[in-house]
Amino acid sequence: MAKPLTFGALKQAIIDSLSPDLLEKKYAEQLTPDDPPETGHCAVASEAFYHLAGGKRAGFMPVVCGYAADGAGNMAFGADKLAALASGWRRETHWWIRGAKNGQRGAGEIFDVTSGQYPAAYPYHNGHNTGFMQPQQKPSRRAQVIIDRVTEVLGAARLAQYRDANIRAFKRAAMQQSGKQKKPAFHGLKP
């Protein structure tokens, strides 16, 4: 029996499945030979992870953050972003996934498949919960390519086990939380 799948193993399989043909044109044009393989793939890699890991049913939430970049590794956020954009910096976004916590969707751990494209820790507190651009909750064409490549490497059964475990854990935590909230508080003596 294969070892249970971990985020680290799934992350590496996703990174190994990335290729320049999956990049939006503007990101493909900015690539240099020294860039990590995940550079520019954050949206599609996060979308693939989201679906592989169980998506909304497992309590995952897509997160996005807009920022300004100067091309030398500097980033600006919030009001500083507006000033930086006015002075010629590029508009960029970064995507990642947040897991569940205590049965609450998107309130937990950060799952950033493409964190390696940044030289320092990304300031995740600047992000906001969002959704992907596929309203039918199905993977985009590019995300499906990654999902197919990862499935070929890791196996459909192993991925299903990982996804199902995430869904069960979220449902169990959500039920525990709703049970705690539904218990009426008792104040005073019984009549």
Q: So where are the chain's domains?
A: 7-177
Q: How confident is the model at residue 190 (pLDDT cuts 50, 70, 90)?
A: very low
pLDDT, mean over the chain: 91
In angstroms, the CA 14 to CA 122 distance is 19
pLDDT at 60 over 80: yes
Q: How confident is the model at residue 59 (pLDDT cuts 50, 70, 90)?
A: very high
Q: What percent of the chain has pLDDT over 70?
A: 92
pLDDT at 186 over 70: no
What is the structure's pLDDT at 188? 47
Residue with tokens 């030289």, as numbered in its chain:
119
Kindly state the average pLDDT of the residues 127-140.
Answer: 86
Spell out the residues 6+ positions from residue 126 whose beta carbon is closer than 8 angstroms to its own.
Answer: 65, 67, 77, 78
Overall size of the chain counted in residues:
191
Residue 153: CB atoms within 10 A of its CB come to 14
pLDDT digits (tens, 9 = 90+) for 76-119: 999 999 999 999 999 999 999 999 999 999 999 999 999 999 98
What is the structure's pLDDT at 177? 86
Kindly state the average pLDDT of the residues 148-152.
Answer: 98
Q: What are phi and psi of 161, to 5 degrees?
A: -60, -45
What is the structure's pLDDT at 137? 79
pTM of the model: 0.90
> Residue 188: which region, alpha, beta or left (left: phi > 0; alpha: psi -120 to 50)?
left
Q: Which two tokens stand for residue 60?
A: 């995952």
